[in-house]
Structures are given as structure tokens and as C-alpha cells.
Amino acid sequence: MSRGDRRPTPFAHCCADGVSLVGDRREGRGPGYLYLHGLGAAHVGGKSDSLVAHALARGERCLRIDLRGHGGSGGVLGEVPVRQLAADVVELLLRCGPLRLVGSSLGGLVAALAAAARPELVPAIALVAPAFGLLPRLHTCLDAAGRMRTSEGRWFVVAPAVLAEARALDEAALARSLPMPVFAAHGDADDVIPIADCERFVAAIPHADKAFWRVAGGDHRLTAVAPELWQRFDRFVAARGA
């Protein structure tokens, strides 16, 4: 695909268990970006559109997918443990080759888990208002019927197995398992995921190849600062040869 062609190429991946993931991609030089959206969202949206335009302008490849249980992909929202989402990302990386992971909200947590599982496939990661701290308190987000509400206003039942996995997640150990450069951005006006949870996670990463952008007045979405976010991430990556 030429740099002047802005049309997406549909993308589909059949996971080892038969579940299909769908999305789109733009070709270009590598390693490029793999965008992972937030809870209840899908691969098309303001932030991901901005990242695609950024990648296109740079001539780099960009892949976006609907996570399992979201959008047009298979699976049921609320029944998919977060480690399964990360395993799906690892399958994609094994198929497509190394990619920089860009994860928003829940996608940030999924990106970190996938990167920790197969660090050789992830040159760098960008965590955009990542949902750290959410899983340990997931049970407090449910109503009397065991349902959770997404920021998009959608209600869904959370399965007991998902809750059990959430309670077992050790985020400090996860932070220590990320050897690659890590860039994080979080708004100090985020009313969904407290900025302190992201600051704590970044502080627990044991190496110095990390950066944290505290976005003054930024909300959970950070769509308004997306172009600057990608520029900051690219400068961060370039300075580290990743």
C-alpha cells in the first residue's frame, strides 16, 4: 500500500482456539505499531485514527484489532480473562513480527502482559492512561447483579473466573518483567483510573529506559493530546534505538 493510500486493509486472525479477531492494518516499514483499545471499545476511534495517520505520515506499518469479546471479534465481553487477551496479542506478534505496543486503558494492561510474556517481540511500549489498579478492585465495580458498566455506558456480567484472575494479578511483579523501553502518559484529571496507579507502576519498573508524561488537565481518553503523544513516544523510542 502506498503512503498516499489512506484506505484500511481489513485484517483477521484466527486464534489457536478458533476465535477470530478482526481489525485493519496499514503496510509500511517496521517495527510499526499495534494499537490495543480500552474496555468496551473497538479498534476504530479517535485515538487509534490519530495513530494510524501518524504512522502513515512516517511510512510505518500500523495494526489495529478488536480485542476478544469486543467489536467484531469473537468471544463474550466479561467472560475473557485479561491473560487471554494478552495471549491473543502474543499470537498476533508471532504472526506479524515485532511491533511497538500502544495500549489505551485496558489495552495498556494487556500490552504490559503481552510484552512481559514475549519481550523479544516488543521493542517498546506506550501505555496511555493504562488501567493499572483496576483488576485488584474489579469486584468493587460490580452492581448487585454482578454487572460492570463501561465508560461507554454498556453493562455486562463479569464471570467468576475473570474475577478470580483479577485478584491474583501482581502488578508490581509485572512491572519488574518489562525489560524494554516503556513510555506512559496519564491525565491528572482522569476520573476513571487514578494517575497514582500509573505512577506507581512506572516507578516499579527497575530500569531507566522509561518515561512518564503527566498530562495537565488530561482526562481518561487523552484523545485531545493524541498527536503530541505519538510524537513524544517516537522521540523516546528514537533516543533508545528501539
> Domains of the chain (ranges plus CATH)?
9-133+171-239 (3.40.50.1820)
Residue 185, φ and ψ in degrees, nearest 5: -135, 135
Give the bridge partners for 77, in sequence order. none
Q: Which pLDDT value is given to residue 242? A: 80
Alpha carbon distance 242, 220 (integer Å): 27
pLDDT tens per residue across span 189-202: 999 999 999 999 99
78 burial via Cβ count (<10 Å: 0-12, 13-18, 19+):
middle
pLDDT tens per residue across span 127-178: 999 999 999 999 999 999 999 998 778 899 999 999 999 999 999 999 999 9
Helix or strand holding residue 102 (H, E): strand 100-104
State the average pLDDT over residues 234-240.
96
By C-alpha distance, which of 117, 103, 118 is closest to 34? 103
Alpha carbon distance 30, 38 (integer Å): 24
> Please, are residues 162 and 137 in contact by the beta-carbon 8 Å criterion?
no
By C-alpha distance, which of 27, 28, 49, 26 is closest to 37? 49
Portion of the chain with pLDDT greater than 90, in percent:
93
State pTM to two decimals: 0.95
Give the bridge partners for 9, in sequence order. 25
Peptide bond into 31 cis (omega under 30): yes
What is the bridge-based pairing of β-strands 147-149 and 125-128?
unpaired
Would you say residue 1 has pLDDT above 60?
Answer: no
Alpha carbon distance 102, 16 (integer Å): 23
